[in-house]
Amino acid sequence: MRYLLALLFFLLMAGDVFGWNQSLAPGLSVKNAMIYLAAFMLAARLIVKGGMKLELPAIHILFAVLVGYAVLTWLTVGFVLHYKDYKLILSGMDLKAELLDNVFVFGLCLYGLQTVSDVKFVTKALLIGLACANAVAIGDIAGWFNIGVTMVGREGVEAGRAFGAFGHANETAALVICLLPAYVAAAGSSRGVMRLFWICAGATSATMMLMNGSRGAFVGMALGGVLGWFTCRRLISFARAAPVLVALVTLGIPLLLLVNMKFGGILTDRVIEMLQDPVTRSGDRTYVWLQGMSRMMDHPVTLLTGFGWDSYSVMGFIYATHNHYLLLWFELGVIGVLSYLLIIREAIMTARYAAEVAPTELRAYFVAFIFGLYFVSIAVFFSLLARPWLYIWAYIGITMRMAVIVSADAANSARITQQRATPSAAAVRRHDRPRRSLQMRRER
């Protein structure tokens, strides 16, 4: 199964890079077809093995709440409220593509992998796929070849920004920062040529992120780094972390200078503008956010319930929310926001517990996951994602499988140790029998 999942990620990323995501039927793309084929093979394997054990039930319950409420609001809007220009079928397709498919991929990775070796193999396949996609995008933008898909912004605030293979520049940057710590973990757990390989792969993806010019990504890394350190403070050794930080800074400065010289200073211009006048630079997003919140205040009940799935697009707004949490709140209310946040929290806490009992090599992967998830969770406060969610939820599913395996192994080891330390009742009786016999002879 691990080879199938690795191939699936390569094909999905190739489709994003070269634009192969053609529609086979309404609501069914080539990407969907590959996911469903993998799911069919997993279902067949589980049937042959006699079923499966439900893992991480809390996350499954929260997913059920999120999906169930989205479906309920979708049907309510379509059959009861009848918003103008709301298309029930098209919104249902969006529900499948933007929510159900992500849950599907999460489950596919959680139940499709069996061993730590499988998990590491698929994680590295995902990292290699991302590095290759970014390398192709960089080559296309630099003019080394022309694939006709990757683009660079030419007008307004997008001028000079590289968009990459995964949608808008902010989307590509969000996916990169989510997986960037995993490159560090892969390099740290490798030796010789393979360590150099992972350093180059990580540097390629980091270069793409710098070319994206995403200020949200930098804010995500800054604030997410603080949250990640606080969460993992007992797991991170300063003696080991300091050389890694020095190496990252040493590698990052030349990359920053190279990107700045080659691509016209787009990154430094955007960051300097943000630092010099953060209120003005964030004014556009604040204006958009206030419009959405004002509409909700006009109908106070929606502060709790939301307007319903896919309703923002038919409310007459000119701009997208540029905020994942605001969109969830606007459409799915408190239930949508809380269920999503609790899923993320449960994933982080599960990874942290697994890191506490994991071997040193695997601990680095859990710490990287926690940092990466914090990075992207902060970044989506300033942007919306489409394509990257599929890979992010796959990464979450992969890491949760590793956490389940490590936690189970730790529990089994603790049980065995306890059994060895506590003598059985039969052993106690055998040990006491000679004493009782000697005592009886003395009494006689």
pLDDT at residue 441, rounded to an integer? 54
Structural domains in the chain (count): 1
- Angle between the N-to-C axes of helices 360-379 and 215-231, in degrees from 0 to 180, rounded to the nearest 10: 140
Q: CB neighbours of 27 closer than 8 A, spacing ≥ 6?
A: 92, 93, 96, 97
**Cα 191 to Cα 118: distance, rounded to the nearest angstrom:** 20
Give a yes or no: residue 437 inside a domain.
Answer: no
pTM, two decimal places: 0.87
Give a yes or no: residue 432 inside a domain.
Answer: no
Q: What is the pLDDT of residues 150-166, one digit of tens each?
A: 677 666 666 667 888 88
Give a yes or no: residue 229 inside a domain.
Answer: yes
- Would you tell me how many other CB atoms lie within 10 Å of the CB of residue 173? 32
What's the half-sphere exposure (Cβ side, CA atoms, 13 Å) at 297? 6
**Cα 300 to Cα 291: distance, rounded to the nearest angstrom:** 14
Give a yes or no: residue 444 inside a domain.
Answer: no
Give a yes or no: residue 374 inside a domain.
Answer: yes
Which residue would you say has higher pLDDT here, 259 or 348?
A: 348
Task: Read off the pLDDT band of 15 (50, 70, 90).
Answer: confident
Percentage with pLDDT > 70 across the chain: 79
Give a yes or no: residue 438 inside a domain.
Answer: no
Q: What is the pLDDT of residues 223-250, one digit of tens each?
A: 999 999 999 988 876 666 666 666 666 6
Give a yes or no: residue 283 inside a domain.
Answer: yes
Which residue would you say has higher pLDDT here, 205 or 235?
A: 205
Give a yes or no: residue 442 inside a domain.
Answer: no
Over residues 169-175, the mean pLDDT reads: 93
Can you give the residue range of the structural domain that contains 375? 2-427
**Most trustworthy range by pLDDT among 51-60, 277-286, 360-369:** 360-369
Dig out the tokens for 437 from the structure.
């016999």
- Would you tell me how many other CB atoms lie within 10 Å of the CB of residue 341? 14
Q: CB neighbours of 391 closer than 8 A, spacing ≥ 6?
A: 9, 12, 13, 126, 130, 175, 179
Over residues 4-32, the mean pLDDT reads: 75
- Would you tell me how many other CB atoms lie within 10 Å of the CB of residue 232? 22
pLDDT at residue 75, rounded to an integer? 95
